[in-house]
Amino acid sequence: MTGGRDRIARRFAALAGEGRSAFIPFVSAGDPDRETSAAILARLPALGADLIELGMPFSDPMADGPSIQAGGERALRAGQTMADTLAMVSAFRERDADTPLVLMGYFNPIYRYGSEAFAADARAAGVDGLIVVDLPPEEDEELRGPAETAGLALIRLVAPTTDDARLRRILADCDGFVYYVSVTGITGTKSAMTRDVAAGLARVRKATDLPVAVGFGVRDAGQASEIAGFADAVVVGSAIVQRIESTLSNGRAGSGTIPGVEALVRELAGGVRNGRGPEAEEAGG
């Protein structure tokens, strides 16, 4: 197999060889509309995305702050369905065979689709992994089996509140990479404190050899750079989704939407690339 979890593993191995951290931008599929969203997705690798997190819009995103909630609502209003999201991935995969793509969202739309059918269709579309925010290890068995069969990595989350006993349980069946939630909070509302994140990450690293990505509280290129100094990957979501929102005109994609997102993603990717440079070594250790 060339895609699925293998594509993720290959990418992290290559980055480790280059001695740098991965940049993972997050966008909601279909935000603000199908066409603009597909255009943004297609551009991400050239702008410096090493992996991509694509959000599956949900009406009740409990773990997300106002920005990502609003992005999902825009997509749903524009008519985005799960089938559209998978079709977007297929179109992306026709032109990019190397950049790992992970779907992120909540369980209900997957449950409704049917876990087995969903895992099979997602893999066929070119998806490599799944992050399902409201499926803790206690509940993810019904998706883990189908994901394994399909060759998809089921990526688990670790939070600052996770104790060592839970950490072992989470890591036991984690696949692809570990997603470290850098703040106790929802996406995009609190700024991660670099020192706390570094300490949290050290605890995770002691317990696993999997790459560790940091997300939920990374707001700008400077902070992305600091965190890239010690994390294997840095996820930025809310800031990008906010950029989409701030460039809309009358609630629709404007002439500044795609260029605005491009400029921000390029800047963030640059921040992550600088994270392991000589300057950062001094600053961040």
Partner 1 sequence: MERNTYRDGPDAQGRFGPFGGRYVAETLMPLILEVERAWRAAQRDPAFEAELRYYLEHYVGRPSPLYFAERLTAHLGGAKIYFKRDELNHTGAHKINNTVGQILLARRMGKTRIIAETGAGQHGVATATVCALFDLPCVVYMGETDIARQAPNVFRMKLLGAEVVPVTSGSRTLKDAMNETLRDWVANVDDTFYVIGTVAGPHPYPAMVRDFQSVIGNEVRDQILAAEGRLPDTLVACIGGGSNAMGLFHPFLDETGIDIHAVEAAGEGLDTGRHAASLTAGSPGVLHGNRTYLLQDGDGQIQEAHSISAGLDYPGVGPEHAWLHDVGRVRYVSVTDAEALEAFQLCSRLEGILPALEPSHALAHVARIAGGLPSDHLLVMNMCGRGDKDVFTVAEALGVEL
What is the binding site for partner 1 (CB under 8 A)? 58-63, 65-66, 69, 73, 76, 81-82, 106-113, 133-136, 138-139, 156-163, 166, 170, 181, 184-186, 189-190
Please give the angle made by the CA atoms of 8, 178 and 21, to the nearest 5 degrees: 65
**Contact indicator for 161, 134 with CB cutoff of 8 Å:** no
Measured N-to-C along each axis, helices 164-172 and 194-207 cross at an angle, to the nearest 10 degrees, of 60
Compare residues 93 and 166 and give the one whose CB is closer to partner 1.
166
User: Which of the residues 33, 50, 53, 121 is marked catalytic?
Assistant: 53
Quote the CA–CA distance of 186 and 194 in Å, as a whole number.
Answer: 17
Closest C-alpha to 63, from 171, 183, 178: 183
Q: Which two tokens stand for residue 279?
A: 């300057």
What is the CA angle 265-76-63, rounded to 5?
65
Q: Measured from the CB of residue 98, what is the shortest distance to partner 1 in angstroms?
A: 30
**CB closer to partner 1 out of 133 and 224:** 133
Comparing CA positions, the residue from 177, 44, 27 lying closest to residue 98 is: 44
d(Cα 48, Cα 270) in Å, to the nearest integer?
Answer: 8
Rounded CA separation 82/85 (Å): 5
Check 31, 33, 50, 64 and give the catalytic one. 64
Is 94 tagged catalytic? no
53 a catalytic residue: yes
User: Could you give the 3-state DSSP secondary structure of residue 179?
Assistant: strand
Smallest distance, partner 1 to C-beta of residue 241, A? 15
Shortest distance, position 156 Cβ to partner 1, whole Å? 8
Q: How far is CA 234 from the centre of its chain?
A: 9
Residue placing its CB nearer to partner 1 in the complex, 4 or 61: 61
Nearer to partner 1, 160 or 260 (CB): 160
State the minimum distance, in angstroms, from the CB of residue 56 to partner 1.
Answer: 9
Beta carbon nearer to partner 1, 10 or 190: 190
Q: Which two tokens stand for residue 67?
A: 């920005």
State the nearest-atom distance from the C-beta of 24 to partner 1, in Å: 18
Helix (H) or strand (E) segment spanning residue 206: helix 194-207
Residues identified as active-site:
53, 64
